[in-house]
Chain A
Amino acid sequence: MKGFYRLNDKFVNKNRQMRTLYCSVLIFLFFSGYVLSQNQPTNPVGLRKIPAIDVKTTDNKTFNTANISNGGKPIIICFWATWCKPCINELSTIADVYPEWQEETGVKLIAISIDDSKTSGGVGPLVNGKNWDYEIYLDINSDFKRAMNVNMIPHSFIINGKNEIVWQHTTYSQGSEMEMINIIRKVAKGDTIPAEKN
């Protein structure tokens, strides 16, 4: 039983494992290829929907992410944490222009905190203390973060009216919110986001 994961040890005996591994990867690739080709006519870039994961509100209600919606208007999903300075920079910067963004495009920002039980109690106070007008959810064990394949935070997504992920961006630097609003304007108009932007 010991060491069965390790492929580099006892290489000869593990050939069969390797073969099966390749097979499973091939199956994945086959499906992904098929999926992309199937989706071609309607979804040019094989758009992914938001996965259904249970998160919590700051007052302890359970919320399923499949219910994220903004009445057909664009949505921004930002992954952040109270201990992540660049995340707070990003959300504070957007907070300054958020009323204008909302007025112009109808966009809604959903901030997903990945604070664990160490710091999650401070999320509500921080959000209110900073006067942020966002919809906030707690992803205490990073389940939604994993399902969205987020490596590091800040990481943001733009969702179109059909709940499809049309754009994503990792890290935050001063000024990158301008790229975000440009994409949102296009999404609000119903334009397709070119694949190289996705």
Chain B
Amino acid sequence: MKNRYSFLIIVLIVGILGSIECRAQGVENFFKNSQISGNFQFDGMYYNHDSVIGAPEVPEKVLMNAFANINYNNGPFSAGLRFENYLHALQGFDPRYKGIGIPYRFASFEKCKFGITVGNSYDQFGSGLIYRAWQDANLGYDNSLDGIHVRVTPVTGLTIKGIWGQQRFYFDKGPGIVRGGDAEINFNDLFTRLHEKPFRFGIGGSFVSKYQDAADPVYKLPKNVAAYSGRGTISYKNFMINGEYAHKINDPSAMNNRIYKPGNATLLQLTYTRKGLGMYLAAIRTDNMSYKSDRDADGNDLNINYIPSLAKQTTYCLPAVYTYATQPNGEFGFQAQGIYTFKRKTKLGGKYGTTISLAYSRYNAIDKEKIDAVTPLDSTGTLGYKSDFFSMGKEVYYENLNFEFSKKFSKTFKLIVDYFYILYNSKIIEGHDVSDIYSHTLLADMTFNINEKHSIRSEIQHMYTKQGEGSWAFGLVEYTIAPRWYFSVSDQYNYGNPDSGKRIHYYNIAASYVFCSSRVSLSYGRQRAGIMCVGGVCRYVPAANGLTLSISTSF
């Protein structure tokens, strides 16, 4: 196995020969059907040392991330690879992303109800509670499975999937082996007479197991850890309800302080929608559900599963200062959302309609009780704790109430007003030893169209809080010359910081040029850690000061 790239070439040649032979028309048709596509992204930054905001001295001065995907497709056959380059990785990305390589390559063939992928694959079973392989370059996240992925659709309405492989771990692979399968039945697709019925229902189930050798001198650790889940969806006209329950056997790991308690997760979602109105209700309960292919891994490394966070996501920068992060060891969360549009040409709707929305989400601890009178909670080598499924823990992790008003007043002016109340348990979410942070944010987002091509967008935001870093103010002005040019100036000011030396201005200027599927952007300034949206793109950035160049294109 010295030479892994030969694998790709062999697969390519086999696929090519195979498809040539399949076609009576021969070589000419083969080349006619060949398609090559791909994309490329480069992000480079020159770093200034800035002790005020906590941006460290960068020995290399400049850092960069780049990748390119190249995909080949010919009818049922496709193959692709991703070239990645970190010399060295940008601040905020794991330093184990180091060097150059091809950590992702695959070949797949799809014909007659069968789909086979060898090499790296991405997929998820159900909502991902026991298996999800996915990638996001801007987050530096990639847990693709290197191995085999098979998908069969014996009849319309029934899909069976199987996976077997090892997970990507930076430029290496994780030590564990991951195997699993999933089946999903959609009854309305399966039975012809149910095709057009308003009542729709489907079920699904999955099983995943990981194997990792164990040689612990003290504890007898499970080498094989299984997880299974079941799910169902029912919809009737405008209503839909879906749920999934997942269970994992005992899996002592670095994440759960090596306790032997089995884990479980439950997700329930309810929606009602009709034209002009949408309502959404969701609840999630997870209990000791971190599932990794290496029991010693921590953070985001080698996750086999995915625990969705139901907390309202915002891309406005001040409310995003306090963003909730999933607590895989246990949480009880729910979310309610309503959105309504007043029709055009009514009193409240005006000429173009008015949209209002209300969202509330809350996360609590799960109930935890000692396993007996003497053993402290979460003691290594024990069952850890007992938990009553239906009672919620007292500790609040996060709470978010959001009201939004959005209206186009005329062809030239559009306004969005948002209010956010956020309660953020900094001790649980970030491990900081500070009290809960209560914040109130009010913001206005205004767009002025000067003419068809020129427009100005401005954001004014204010966040009031007595805790944490204190109050913030934010201002932004964007000038766009559609569809190519974009300029912006912004400042985020922590004027309420209790430490007067930390009342910092995070200023930023940016320009970008877009040409069809390519975008080049240049920005200079300070960035605080968090989600940053510039020129219509959002990504996570750490505290930094400097000049950034980004190039992105697809072909």
Contact = CB atoms under 8 A, between A and B. Distances in A.
A122 B101 contact: no
Interface stretch (A68-76, A83-91, A105-113): A83-91
B482 A178 contact: yes
B102 A5 contact: yes
Contacts of B135: 142
A171 B482 contact: no
By size class, the interface of chain B is: 35 or more
B52 to A, nearest CB: 29
B200 A125 contact: no
B12 interface: yes
Interface in B499-522: 512, 514, 516-519
B437 interface: no
B71 A152 contact: no
B341 A23 contact: no
B36 A28 contact: yes
A179 B516 CA distance: 10
Contact of B341 (A117, A124, A129, A170): A129
Contacts of A141: 122-124, 128, 132, 134
A122 B100 contact: no
B35 A48 contact: yes
Given A6-B101, A129-B273, A131-B276, A175 B453 contact: yes
B31 A125 contact: no
B26 interface: no
Contact of A169 (B35, B355, B486, B516): B516
B525 interface: no
A13 B115 CA distance: 36
Looking at B32, B278, B337, B343, the one whose CB has the most chain A CB atoms below 10 A away is: B278
A155 B352 CA distance: 25
B37 interface: yes
A128 B275 contact: yes
A6 B536 CA distance: 34
Interface in B366-408: 406, 408
A149 B38 contact: yes
Looking at A8, A9, A167, A171, the one whose CB has the most chain B CB atoms below 10 A away is: A171
Contacts of B71: 147, 149
Given A23-B9, A121-B271, A175-B452, A169 B533 contact: no
Looking at A62, A147, A149, the one whose CB has the most chain B CB atoms below 10 A away is: A149
Looking at B9, B273, B282, B449, the one whose CB has the most chain A CB atoms below 10 A away is: B273
A24 interface: yes
A146 B280 CA distance: 28
B159 interface: yes
B233 interface: yes
A131 B344 CA distance: 11
Nearest to A60: B233
Given A141-B123, A143-B122, A179 B482 contact: yes
Interface string A133-163: 0000000111100111111101100000000
A78 B502 CA distance: 42
B202 interface: yes
B552 A170 contact: yes
Contacts of A149: 37-39, 69, 71, 554-555
A46 B31 CA distance: 12
A178 B36 contact: no
Contact of B31 (A21, A38, A128): A38
A58 B454 CA distance: 36
Contact of A17 (B5, B110, B457): B5
B235 A128 contact: no
B278 A116 contact: no
Contacts of A152: 138, 537, 552
Interface in B112-143: 122-124, 126-128, 132, 134-135, 137-138
A118 B309 contact: yes
Contacts of B353: 131
A20 B6 CA distance: 6
B265 to A, nearest CB: 11
Contacts of A118: 308-310, 313
Contacts of A92: 406
B310 A174 contact: no
Looking at B235, B337, B536, the one whose CB has the most chain A CB atoms below 10 A away is: B536
A86 B102 contact: no
B92 interface: no
Nearest to A128: B273
Interface of B: 1-6, 8-9, 12, 28, 31-32, 34-39, 41, 69-73, 78, 81, 99-103, 110, 122-124, 126-128, 132, 134-135, 137-138, 159, 171-173, 186, 188-189, 200, 202, 233, 235, 240, 242, 267, 269, 271-280, 282, 306, 308-310, 313-316, 337-341, 343, 352-353, 355, 357, 406, 408, 447, 449, 452-455, 457, 480-483, 486, 512, 514, 516-519, 533, 535-538, 552-555
9 contacts: A17-B5, A21-B5, A35-B35, A82-B313, A124-B240, A125-B278, A146-B69, A174-B482, A178-B453
Interface of A: 1-9, 16-17, 20-21, 23-25, 27-28, 31-32, 34-35, 38-39, 46, 48-49, 51-52, 58-62, 82-86, 89, 92, 96, 116-119, 121-122, 124-131, 140-143, 146-152, 154-155, 167-176, 178-179, 197-198
Given A121-B280, A131-B343, 18 more contacts: A2-B172, A5-B171, A17-B3, A28-B36, A34-B31, A58-B240, A86-B533, A117-B308, A125-B271, A125-B272, A125-B280, A126-B339, A129-B276, A129-B278, A141-B124, A167-B516, A171-B514, A173-B480
